[in-house]
Amino acid sequence: MRLSSLLALLRPVLPLILGLSLGCSLSLLRVSWIQGEGEDPCVEAVGKPGGPQNPDSKNGLDQGDEDFRPRIVPYYRDPNKPYKKVLRTRYIQTELGSRERLLVAVLTSRATLSTLAVAVNRTVAHHFPRLLYFTEQLNRRYQPRLRFRKQRLLNGYRRFDPARGMEYTLDLLLEAVTQRGHRRSLARRVSLLRPLSRVEILPMPYVTEATRVQLVLPLLVAEAPAALAFLEAFAASVLEPREHALLTLLLVYGPREGRGGPDPFLGVKAAAAELERRYPGARLAWLAVRAEAPSQVRLMDVISKKHPVDTLFFLTTVWTRPGSEVLNRCRMNAISGWQAFFPVHFQEFNPALSPQRSPPGVPGADPPSPGVDPSRGAPVGGRFDRQASAEGCFYNADYLAARARLAGELAGQEEEEALEGLEVMDVFLRFSGLHLFRAVEPGLVQKFSLRDCSPRLSEELYHRCRLSNLEGLGARTQLAMALFEQEQANST
């Protein structure tokens, strides 16, 4: 009777008592298991890749939080066995980028997406080898109602900005697909920027902007009328501000020119004498040579013998307009025994095919010169002529060393043929161990002119000369418009 009454009293709390008993029993069993186990072999292997280094288990756990560093097992080839190619994991993990750190940055604000991306790029770019930005704004906005897919590229334009990077403007044909399967093609224009990254600073010798520059201007008889404009520009940009620079005119006569007849360079000599009289202390020297087929290297040989070995030459053309900034960049980029500088000038298009445009909003106003800042625009004004290499800055000692190496490797008739088909830049490129620095120079702006492509040039130089003349006529759109207008006129 008493037992039944006791069971009736404990029946409501009996499940609670059984649960507490079972929990305590399992806890005691788990404590015994943990005490019986040793160190974690995985943690020990990760923390100590090269084997047991520290017997302290706590230190091993701290090392387990670090990145996993694979251990390179050295390979020792048995001389008695045939040779087989060795596969090194070190190069595999470098190529696959398995050790690159990953940063995921979620930029949620569309209004500040551009500024946030620039801030993140400038903050962490030097910590990570590569930054990837993914944008899915269209699909996030319209999904699941719409889904956009790229079909093909309609048009594309790219432009390299030395200060920012490669800029892209793309016209994409997208396909919009609804939930019901309806499809429609849409054209959208996007603007992309691939910023400059991994800028490497190279140690360079010390140079100053106080070095005197010796300008060298070779003049043919056909270029004598254009030399007067060059001298006026030289006086305004070099003599007037008293730049530390000199000018030497190299007058190239033909086999029969100037013999018993009028001097074709009489006006040039008179203009040089007038500048010396107008600017006291200025000295414009000129040398006269006679050559049937003038070569740039042969003409430079004549000049180099007249100057000391530490002279900084600036080889120019009659269409070049050097200024203070150009001379300073010549001084900074031409380093004796280290580097030669050959700038890429900005060539204006043919004014007959590329008419000057007035600024927007100012009717009848004079258009700005397309050469003011060609790196930032002027799509109809001209282009950087990468085919031309007539301008160059280098030291006389470096030129003499390259010239001596050319004479040592090529002798006799082979040297004579090489001199006719080479330019000064080719001599430095092939027969010198200097760095050859070639970059666009916005300060060198040349008016449109057709270069005289001599048939005595090498095949490569002749092709470059012809290509420079053809590409300098105008932009493709302007040439297409001129052909279209010509066909329309012929059809009527």
CA distance 141 to 135: 12
Q: Are 103 and 124 in contact (CB under 8 A)?
A: yes
Which numeric CATH code is attached to 105-200? 3.10.450
**Domain ranges for the chain:** 105-200, 211-256+263-353+379-484
Longest dimension (CA), the chain: 155
pLDDT in tens, the chain (492 residues): 677 777 777 778 778 888 888 888 877 777 655 554 444 444 444 444 444 444 444 444 444 445 556 565 565 667 777 665 544 444 444 444 444 555 556 555 556 656 666 666 666 665 555 554 444 555 566 666 677 777 788 888 888 777 778 888 888 888 888 877 788 888 888 888 888 776 677 777 888 888 899 999 999 888 888 899 999 999 999 999 889 899 999 998 887 776 777 888 899 999 999 999 999 888 889 998 887 767 888 889 999 999 999 999 999 999 988 888 999 999 999 999 899 999 998 888 888 877 655 444 444 444 444 444 444 444 447 888 888 888 999 999 999 999 999 888 877 667 777 777 788 998 998 888 898 898 888 888 888 888 878 777 777 788 888 888 888 888 878 888 888 888 888 877
**Single-letter code of the amino acid located at 55:** P
User: Residue 68 corresponds to which tokens in the numbers above?
Assistant: 């996993």
Q: What is the pLDDT of residues 361-382, one digit of tens each?
A: 444 444 444 444 444 444 447 8
* pTM of the entire predicted model: 0.57
CA distance 5 to 453: 124
CA distance 476 to 385: 15
Query: What's the fold here for domain 211-256+263-353+379-484?
Result: Spore Coat Polysaccharide Biosynthesis Protein SpsA; Chain A (3.90.550)
Helices 413-420 and 396-409, axial angle in degrees (round to 10): 130
DSSP codes, 44-91:
HHHH-TTS-----HHHHHHHTTSPP-PPPPP----TTSPP-----HHH
